[in-house]
Structure 1
Amino acid sequence: MKKYFILALFIFIVISYIFYKKEDKNKELFASYYFWENSYKTEIKNEKLYIKVLDIYYSNQLEIIKTNFATKPPKEFIPVIYITNKTMQNINYKTLSQNILRDLKSFDFNFNELQIDCDWSDSSRDNYFLFLNELKNSLNITFSSTIRLHQIKYFKKTGVPPVDYGVLMYYNMSNLGDFDTKNYILDNSEAKKYHYNFDKYPLRLKLALPLYSQAVQFRDKKAINLFENISSKDFKNENFIKIEENRYKTLSSHYFKGKYIYKDDIFRLEEPKEDELKTALKDFKELSKNSFNEVIFYTIKYKLKYNLEKILGE
């Protein structure tokens, strides 16, 4: 009798798990947004926001730039701290943690979750992971860390950050300054090179997708400038000629967006399209069996340029 009871219980657990996973998979996706400006001036309502509150750099010394909150942020927003890899290579984790705790206390808001954005490397990994543990133990709140595609494919080498969940930054996945790069912001064919080990990766993941555009200026095949918030419309005049997909050649020297450019300069336009974003989302959903039903878009500044319902819809 006991044997049958155990068997029945096992079957019940299996069926319940399958039903749960199916139900979880069919949950409607919802959008949230990064706010990445250095000043929060306009009140944003009815949106879940991840607001960058600190920019942390290292040149000859530690530099921390605080976001100016001219307007109070939403009560339920999630603060994000951006830290350069160079900082983690040069500043001891305890020193960095103490500085951050001091600056977080100076803000006039409360929070129960914090996200750290840092593209750590082999040389900074140990210090970064110790830093995460130190800060998490000090604050005793939910923690997340941004993750890059290569850090999933090679997670046994890169390590897994000691946080509650990860946010996969599904963009900026190749070499920005390489003349032969097709699209630095989003290239689904490039992303497929990293579609490994999602089934083994121990952190539950949220997905972050790009809503911004830019153009990289090349001279003699060397990247010399980056222009933000650029579209194909900016190249549809007598000063440019389209030479291939997303590539434009300058026909005459002139001022462009406040900068002087020269004849024969080449521009690589990087402007993610809705179908490309939809493909990226589809690929992620098929890869990650341990993901949230939330997509974080970078950034809310360009929200109205895209039909997000189309991107998130089946």
Structure 2
Amino acid sequence: MRTLTLFCLALLTMVSCSDKKSHPYTFYYWKTRLTLNTDEKEALNQATAPYLYARFFDVDQAGGRIQPVGVITKDRSFATDKKLVPVVFITNRTFLHISRDEISLLAKNINHLVQAKTSEYHLNTAPEIQIDCDWTAGTRDDYFTFLKELKQLSGKTITCTLRLHQVKDKKQAGIPPVQKVYLMCYSTSSPLESSDKNSILDVNTLKNYLADIDQYPVGNIDVALPIYSWGIVTNHLKKHRLINGLSQKDLNNRHFKKISENEAEIEQDGFYFGSYLSKGFRIKVEEISDEQLRDVVRFLNKKIHGFTIVYYQLDHQFIKGQNFSI
């Protein structure tokens, strides 16, 4: 009887340990120049997935022209053993009123520019291109046609990001013609609206949007999680704007009056965080805790199996003190 009890305890321990197995993880890189400082190199070296998802450029439509914006450059010192997955962000308006010929030309130009930058900087890239676009019901058909065209032209695996509303409203948003999507588990609301919720990630809101994610008809799903933070500045007219990279410690200023743990009112006009802010302006800091991330992963473990985590984003101001193995 004692032997059986010990065997059962050992089995329970083994099951418990397997349940706690960490997901492979890596990062998005979203700067316009490929360069890594010491902290970023260390964090990337410790990442357990073999890729780095690097934004190569954006594509936007302005003045009737579709063109690349913020094309990536590379510092001589940049080096990593990770394979780079080129990521291209395309604005939704790029696909408004686009013709069939323009879709083909867009796919051709994007493929050419990705190849050109890869060759110019001698980058070790994966056979994948990820497209990031917040498509809508009105642009979905043209966007999906573009994804097919890019796959045919490039000969590579074409993947895309998947936002929360595109999951919840999948009948209207449609299902992208790809074999793999990256579920963006952030931006649960707009930071420019007055709300008590954390606009980067409100876990209850996310769970509501993703209640049926286990029924999403794309079999391969990886998960993007936020590690960034910002401050939302509200002026006297209740207008909002963002200052990236702020954390709660930035509110410890003798010219600020703390309202709560994550909010303060400015008591003296001046330059703060690179901006001129007036007396009476308020700053609300939004950042993400380890427990919020663990809560999301626990929820998704019941819905999606064997996913890799891609943290947004690799930047020294967001990676210090983080526990990425969850």
TM-score, normalised to structure 2's length? Answer: 0.81
| Aligned match of 1:95 | 105
Distance (whole Å) between structure 1 residues aligned to residue 81 and residue 55 of structure 2: 13
**C-alpha displacement of 1:181:** 4.8
User: CA, structure 1 residues 166+181, in 2 after alignment: closer, same or farther (shift >3 Å)?
Assistant: farther
The one-letter amino acid paired with 1:104 is V
Q: Which residue of 1 aligns with 2:9?
A: none
Cα deviation digits, residues 51-109 of structure 1 (max 9, x gap): 11121122212230320123466562211111111112254321211211221221214
CA contact (8 A) 1:249 1:264 kept: yes
Letter in 1 for 2:62: S
Superposition deviation, residue 297 in structure 1: 0.4
**1:196 match: secondary structure:** coil
**Structure 1 pair 272/163, CA: closer, same or farther in 2 (3 Å)?**
same
Q: Do the aligned residues in 2 keep the contact of 1:28 with 1:293 (CA within 8 Å)?
A: no
Shift of 1:25: 7.3
User: Match of 2:114?
Assistant: 104
Shift in Å at residue 215 of structure 1?
0.5
Aligned-partner Cα distance in 2 for 1:185–1:84 = 20
Between 27-36 and 170-179, report the one with greater CA deviation: 27-36
Asked if 1:299 is matched to 2:313, the reply is yes
The answer to whether the aligner puts 1:39 opposite 2:54 as a matched pair is: no
Residue in 2 aligned with 1:202? Answer: 217
**Residue 270 (structure 2) aligns with:** 254
RMSD: 2.4
Name the counterpart of 1:177: 192
Q: Shift of the alpha carbon at 1:28?
A: 3.8
Contact preservation (8 Å) 1:179, 1:223: no
1:263-309 CA deviation, whole Å, 9 max, x = no partner?
Answer: 111112111111111112212222x23x4331000111145324325
Q: Aligned match of 1:114 in 102, 111, 129?
A: 129
Q: Which residue of 2 aligns with 1:29?
A: 23
Matching residue within 176, 182, 205 for 1:161: 176
Relative to structure 1, is the Cα distance of residues 229 and 161 closer, same or farther in structure 2, using a 3 angstrom cutoff?
Answer: same
Which residue of the other structure, out of 223, 228, 233, is the alignment partner of 2:249? 233
Stretch moving more, 144-153 or 245-254: 245-254
- Residues of 2 paired with 1:124 and 1:25: CA distance? 41
Partners in 1 of 2:276 and 2:22 — Cα distance?
47
Aligned length, in residue pairs: 288
Query: Aligned partners of 1:160 and 1:306: how far apart in 2?
Result: 38
| Cα distance change, pair 256–272 in 1 and its aligned pair in 2 (3 A) | same
Seen in structure 2, the aligned counterparts of structure 1 residues 90 and 40 have a Cα distance that, compared at 3 Å, is farther
Structure 2: which 5+ residue stretches go unaligned? 1-17
Per mean C-alpha deviation after superposition, the further-off stretch among 222-231 and 78-87 is 222-231
Question: What is the deviation of 1:126?
Answer: 1.0
Q: SS at the partner of 2:246?
A: coil
Structure 1 residues 201-223: Cα deviation after superposition (integer angstroms, max 9, x where no partner): 01121111111110011113633
Within 1, Cα distance between the matches of 2:320 and 2:25?
A: 15
Q: Hey, what's the Cα distance between the residues in 2 that align with 1:133 and 1:270?
A: 38
Q: Percent identity?
A: 29
Shift in CA distance, 75/236, structure 1 to aligned 2, threshold 3 Å: closer
Mapped partners of 2:259, 2:216: distance in 1: 42
Structure 2 SS opposite 1:199 = helix
Quickly say closer, same or farther: Cα 1:41–1:165, change in 2 above 3 A. same
Q: Is the 8 A contact 1:179 1:221 kept in 2?
A: no
Name the structure 2 match of 1:63: 67
- 1:15 aligned partner: none
| Contact 1:177/1:222 (<8 A) preserved | no
| Contact in 1 for aligned 2:58/2:89 (Cα 8 Å) | yes
Equivalent of residue 76 in structure 1, options 83, 86, 110: 83
TM-score normalised by structure 1 residue count = 0.84
Confirm whether residue 50 of structure 1 aligns to residue 53 of structure 2.
Answer: yes
In the superposition, relative to structure 1, how do residues 233 and 75 fare at CA in structure 2: closer, same or farther (>3 Å)? Answer: closer
Distance in 2 (alpha carbons) for counterparts of 1:76 and 1:93: 28
Taking a change above 3 Å as real, the CA distance of residues 75 and 245 of structure 1, as seen in their structure-2 partners, is: closer
Distance 1:90 1:245, change over 3 A: farther
Residues in 2 aligned to 1:75 and 1:167: alpha-carbon distance in whole angstroms: 19
Check whether the contact 1:114–1:143 (CA below 8 A) recurs between aligned residues.
yes
